[in-house]
């Protein structure tokens, strides 16, 4: 009995020493960077619904539950009073229509510009994190490129209102929507390629589901948008809202990886990326025993790194 107690005490002491040693050589800790991908959908989804509420209050668009439209009305929607409204296709609650007229147009531009910046930062950190923990690959570089192109299109959408700069607005939308769809496809594929644990595969399943829903919403929105039917035009607006919400929720899933973002990730980006993981080399130099304990640094593919 005494020998067993002594062994238990020695085991507890050894475990505490091991945990202290891991902390000293840089055992991964939860990073505050995970707040960034969570704040993006919170900010943008809340923001565009506030824009919609402002446009609805000012009678610039019709409610999303309104499915009755007319060829023309005796007076503009903003001048109408009463529970029953006369709506035309100019009042379809597309996201862009909700942010066309002041004062909601100012808030819409602010949301799009802020969201574009956050998309660029998230894309850059995701790019650096993959290089740090694994290695660079085509999917990772393509994901960064499409994310930044999408951000550029989103800036155009938010700052060139459809009623006053239609060509530039549609150019921005034509850039933002396809590249955002391509971005989530690339990131879903990259997630599966790098996944090794059950939790990582779970994140991949979640992203794949969101990607499929976004694809269906985007296709239906585009097909219905070019139709002449009032009902289909309204359905196009609803699917546009669904698509944007899904894309923002997809960005929120990066919180799973961003909890592991550290100063090493920023060091990789400061050095311009590269083929190998800068953070891995740093920790190997600081405490090579840690990598030996973990079995060596992970790679970007299933095959071992040369």
pLDDT single digits (tens) 157-187: 999 999 999 999 999 999 999 999 999 999 9
Q: What tokens does 229 get? A: 């039917």
Tell me how crowded residue 263 is: count the other CB atoms within 10 A of its CB. Answer: 12
Among 139, 220, 153, 222, smallest CA distance to 183 is for: 139
pLDDT of residue 16: 56
> 228 pLDDT band (50/70/90 cuts)?
confident
CA pseudo-torsion sign 167, 173, 178, 182? positive
241 CB-near residues (< 8 Å, 6+ apart): 48, 64, 95
Helices (H) and strands (E) in the chain, counts: 12, 0
* Claim: this prediction has a pTM higher than 0.85: no
pLDDT at site 296: 46
Q: Tell me the pLDDT tens digit for each residue of 231-279.
A: 999 999 999 999 999 999 999 999 999 998 888 888 989 987 654 444 4
The domain segmentation of the chain, as residue ranges, is: 32-259
């Amino acid at each position: 009995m005494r020998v067993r107690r002594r062994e238990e005490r020695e085991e507890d002491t050894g475990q505490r020493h091991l945990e202290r040693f891991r902390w000293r050589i840089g055992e991964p800790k939860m990073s505050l960077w995970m707040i960034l991908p969570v704040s993006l959908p919170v900010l943008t989804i809340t923001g565009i619904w506030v824009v919609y509420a402002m446009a609805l209050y000012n009678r610039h668009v019709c409610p999303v539950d309104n499915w009755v439209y007319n060829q023309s009305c005796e007076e503009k929607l903003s001048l109408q009073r009463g529970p029953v409204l006369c709506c035309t296709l100019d009042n379809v609650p597309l996201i862009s229509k909700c942010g066309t007229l002041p004062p909601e147009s100012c808030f819409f531009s602010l949301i799009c510009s802020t969201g574009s910046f956050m998309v660029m930062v998230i894309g850059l950190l995701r790019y650096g994190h993959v290089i740090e923990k694994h290695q660079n690959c085509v999917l990772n570089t393509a994901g960064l490129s499409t994310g930044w192109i999408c951000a550029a299109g989103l800036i155009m959408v938010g700052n060139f209102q459809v009623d006053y700069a239609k060509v530039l607005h549609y150019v921005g939308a034509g850039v933002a929507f396809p590249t955002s769809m391509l971005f989530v496809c690339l990131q879903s594929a990259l997630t599966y390629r790098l996944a090794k644990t059950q939790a990582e595969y779970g994140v991949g399943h979640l992203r794949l589901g969101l990607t499929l829903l976004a694809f269906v919403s985007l296709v239906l929105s585009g097909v219905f948008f070019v139709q002449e039917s009032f009902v289909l035009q309204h359905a196009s607006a609803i699917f546009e809202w669904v698509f944007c919400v899904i894309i923002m929720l997809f960005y929120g899933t990066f919180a799973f990886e961003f909890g592991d973002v550290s100063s090493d990730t920023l060091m990789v980006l400061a050095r311009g990326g590269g083929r190998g993981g800068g953070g891995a080399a740093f920790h190997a130099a600081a405490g090579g025993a840690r990598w030996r304990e973990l079995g060596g640094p992970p790679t970007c593919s299933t095959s071992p790194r040369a």
